[in-house]
Amino acid sequence: MEALLLHPPFADPTQPYLSLPTLKACLKKRGLDARVVDLNLEAAHWLMDHETLRDIARRIGSRFVDLNRSQGLDFHEQREFRALVAARPSIEHAVGADPSPITVFQTRELFYDASHYALARRHVEMAFEALSAANYPYRFGFNVASHGVLPWSFDLLDEYCAKKKSPLDAFYQGWFKGAEEWDWDAGTLPNCELADTGFIGVSVVFPSQIPEALYLCRFLKARAPHAFIALGGPCIHQVAIHMEEELRVRLLSFADGIGLFEGEETLAQLLPRLDEWRRATPAARFALLADVPNLMTLDPIAKTPRIGPRWSLDMEDAVAPDYSDLDLDRYWAPSRTLLYAPTRGCYWGKCSFCYYGLTETATASYREIPADRAASELGQLSRRYGVKNFYISCDVLSPKYAVKLAEALIEKGVKIRWSSDLKIEKYFTPERCKLLFDSGLRSAAFGIESGSDRILSLMQKGCDRATMTTVNRAFHEAGVATEWMTFTDHPDESVDEALETVQWIEEQQEFIDLFIVGQFGLENGSDIAQDPLRYGVRKIYYASGDDLRLYALFTQKNGRRNADSNTRIEREIERVASAWELHPYPWAGANSTHHSFLHFLEFGPRAFRNHFQKAGAASKGALATPPVAHIAGMREKPRFDVEHIAERERAFFGEYMQRALYTTIPASRTGGSGSDEVAPLSAEDYAAAASNVTILRSGWKA
């Protein structure tokens, strides 16, 4: 019996993720095995294939012609039409890209050329813009897979699967071919043959992977009904652990089981039982797996979910990840990188806003592999896979452990370059920062959060602005690139306090090498969610259609900021950010990405203040007219006023989202249980509101 561990789309294709190679290594230690498949990487290659891009172009052109020759468009069609018009030149640019983006990213000389890199990044973004238009109303990217308006409800997810809305369905059909589809004469074999596969685990690390992960579960269950299909990973854990029972039942309709918390012992006990599980009745199957640690399954008699006994890894039993199933040169980068985790959990564990990792609330308990052993394992991984670059992938390294690891790396002569997330503490003296640099540390991402000491205290950060300023400078002056993670809109933050953060970044700009100013999002397991009144939060609620509870909404004692205040903050962020070349995940110019790290290594900590400025128009300017794709509908003139449609959209959503997100109604009115209130936003509410927008007529007649 073969076991498959799948990393699903959509996520970063520039480096392998850590979780599945870690599980594989732990299984091998127990005399078991599983094959790791980075399906996200393979899907990314498929999407950027020339023929796939041309097929997207044909679909855009065909749909554009259909709408363009209509007598009138309803609101949904108007929005789709505008997306198609914008996507036509984008897909032509993507189709005509020469060299291809993947070639640029995998070729050292091109990757480090600012213009080539910037243009390749834009070509990929254009391809995703086109993919989204061709699959309206859904939006896709390496960090997004969403509906254009609605949160994911189970009804929407069921429709997504049943109506084959995934843009990757053709890819899955080809990748998971059945034996009857093999072309034996041509010697064509499937990439994943399912006949002997008894277990398929789908790991969900990021919210952007949820739709495709669930789509894959349904797809694979149809292809391999004999296999045990499991969901797992930190993102699906955080979704499932806080779900009401009736929603857990719906989530379990996609899989035979869901692995919660840490998965090593779950798989070690589950896999040997699956031969018997396949032969058993439904009731006997449930009984057989009831004591598997951390496994949630459905009791077929009581129709209720049950979770096996809780288990956490003793780090004495941890093993180094096994990347042997992966082609490390297939990732979108000119050199290899690996992730390694010598610790789990967070040593601090007090921040108000944080819900991170495999736990019910806050962060998991902090555990460490001895630093000497971690250094040895890093050396072994470096030699085995020919890798010099590592991302130490932890919730956060404790300062003392980071220094011990640095000392061990130096003592053992392990020559690597590494980056990680660190919490600023006074412990990081200039001498210790120099030691970290000498061990190979070349970039560090700091959870700075806010420039207001009052807000930092409210957040329970355990550090003040003056300390952060001093320690950050010590890292920068030691040669370590400093990456700041900040955000606005923490509950009870004023406009002036939000601006303090931006002004502080500007003041310290010579010592900050990358940064992000995000916007606060309330997490289910955070301290704020557990004790809202302490933070001035009056009520926490969700949109009616948000069955996964991914986007908590809330009211606070001082009310929401008005649009003018938000605009003022956004403009200040844009003004200050203009001195850097910043871009979203997973590109160079985003915090803690492989591409950013490689550019730090090549050009030094100031890479995003001086190198990418050489790209000029290739980075942000207007591009030349794309090469003609010779596909129907690409150059036909739009017969509807696109600017007028855009004005209609702005007017509609300016009013609709205020009501749909910031007013509440009893959950019972939307079919929910209990007396809790919800925001009206749902498929039904949106459809009703959109139906009131007048038809846009065309003057064209056949």
Domain ranges for the chain? 2-307, 335-520+561-605
pLDDT at 603: 97
On whether the CB atoms of residues 336 and 387 are closer than 8 A, the answer is yes
pLDDT in tens, 684-694: 999 999 999 99
Sign of the CA dihedral running 185, 189, 190, 196: positive
On whether the CB atoms of residues 342 and 405 are closer than 8 A, the answer is yes
Which residues contact residue 243 at a Cβ distance below 8 angstroms, ignoring those fewer than 6 apart? 251, 549
Longest dimension (CA), the chain: 80
Distance, CA of 532 to CA of 206 (rounded, Å): 25
Within 10 angstroms of residue 677's Cβ, the number of other Cβ atoms is 17
Comparing 181-185, 312-316, 487-491, the range with the smallest average pLDDT is 181-185
pLDDT at 645: 97
Asked if the model's pLDDT at residue 571 lies above 60, the reply is yes
Asked if the model's pLDDT at residue 187 lies above 70, the reply is no
| Mean pLDDT (whole number) for 260-282 | 96
Which residues contact residue 524 at a Cβ distance below 8 angstroms, ignoring those fewer than 6 apart? 238, 242, 355, 549, 552
Distance, CA of 44 to CA of 9 (rounded, Å): 8
| Mean pLDDT (whole number) for 264-288 | 96
Where would I find the beta strands (DSSP E) of 16-69? 35-38
Asked if the model's pLDDT at residue 188 lies above 60, the reply is no
Comparing 92-106, 585-599, 626-640, the range with the smallest average pLDDT is 626-640
pLDDT at 192: 64
Asked if the model's pLDDT at residue 670 lies above 80, the reply is no
Asked if the model's pLDDT at residue 2 lies above 60, the reply is yes
Give the homologous superfamily in CATH for domain 335-520+561-605.
tm_1862 like domain (3.80.30.20)
What's the token pair of residue 439? 């061990």
Asked if the model's pLDDT at residue 357 lies above 80, the reply is no
CA distances from 364 to 156, 206, 351, 360, 379 (A): 32, 18, 13, 8, 27
On whether the CB atoms of residues 340 and 390 are closer than 8 A, the answer is yes
Which residues contact residue 583 at a Cβ distance below 8 angstroms, ignoring those fewer than 6 apart? 121, 589, 590
Asked if the model's pLDDT at residue 538 lies above 60, the reply is yes
Asked if the model's pLDDT at residue 300 lies above 70, the reply is yes
What's the token pair of residue 644? 């007028």
pTM (2 d.p.): 0.95
Which residues contact residue 412 at a Cβ distance below 8 angstroms, ignoring those fewer than 6 apart? 372, 375, 376, 379
| Mean pLDDT (whole number) for 667-693 | 85
Q: Given pLDDT bands bounded at 50, 70 and 90, which one contains residue 699? A: low
Asked if the model's pLDDT at residue 151 lies above 70, the reply is yes
pLDDT at 675: 54
Comparing 67-81, 86-100, 511-525, 559-573, the range with the smallest average pLDDT is 559-573
Phi, psi for residue 445 in degrees, rounded to 5: -100, 125
Where would I find the beta strands (DSSP E) of 40-119? 72-73
Distance, CA of 104 to CA of 627 (rounded, Å): 19
Which residues contact residue 344 at a Cβ distance below 8 angstroms, ignoring those fewer than 6 apart? 262, 313, 315, 357, 364, 365, 366, 367, 394, 395
pLDDT in tens, 189-222: 456 668 788 999 999 999 999 999 999 999 999 9
Distance, CA of 659 to CA of 653 (rounded, Å): 10
In three-state secondary structure terms, 395 is: strand
| Mean pLDDT (whole number) for 131-143 | 98
End-to-end CA distance of the chain: 61
Measured CA angle at 229 (ends 226, 234), to 5 deg: 170
With a pLDDT cut of 70, the percent of the chain lying above it is 96
Q: Given pLDDT bands bounded at 50, 70 and 90, which one contains residue 617? A: confident
In three-state secondary structure terms, 542 is: strand
Distance, CA of 429 to CA of 26 (rounded, Å): 37
**What percent of the chain is helix, strand and coil (3-state, nearest 5)?**
45, 15, 40
Within 10 angstroms of residue 396's Cβ, the number of other Cβ atoms is 25
Distance, CA of 242 to CA of 407 (rounded, Å): 41
Distance, CA of 526 to CA of 540 (rounded, Å): 12
pLDDT at 181: 53
- Which residue type, as a one-letter code, is found at position 57? A
On whether the CB atoms of residues 328 and 382 are closer than 8 A, the answer is no
CA distances from 282 to 130, 234, 288, 425 (A): 45, 28, 10, 54
Asked if the model's pLDDT at residue 291 lies above 80, the reply is yes
Q: Which residue has the tokens 């857990």?
A: 248
| Mean pLDDT (whole number) for 481-507 | 97
pLDDT at 624: 85
Q: Which residue has the tokens 């909404």?
A: 553
On whether the CB atoms of residues 595 and 586 are closer than 8 A, the answer is yes
DSSP per-residue letters across 487-509: EE--TT--HHHHHHHHHHHHHTG
Of the candidates 608, 604, 613, 615, the one whose C-alpha atom is nearest the C-alpha of residue 589 is 608
**Strand order through the sheet with 481-488:** 338-340, 389-397, 417-422, 441-449, 481-488, 514-519
pLDDT at 257: 98
On whether the CB atoms of residues 35 and 197 are closer than 8 A, the answer is no
Which residues contact residue 209 at a Cβ distance below 8 angstroms, ignoring those fewer than 6 apart? 8, 9, 10, 11, 40, 145, 233, 235
Asked if the model's pLDDT at residue 183 lies above 50, the reply is no
Within 10 angstroms of residue 314's Cβ, the number of other Cβ atoms is 8
Mean pLDDT value across the chain: 94
Of the candidates 426, 502, 507, 500, the one whose C-alpha atom is nearest the C-alpha of residue 462 is 426
Asked if the model's pLDDT at residue 666 lies above 50, the reply is yes
CA distances from 305 to 268, 404, 467, 625 (A): 21, 44, 48, 56
pLDDT in tens, 83-129: 999 999 999 999 999 999 999 999 999 999 999 999 999 999 999 99
On whether the CB atoms of residues 216 and 6 are closer than 8 A, the answer is yes
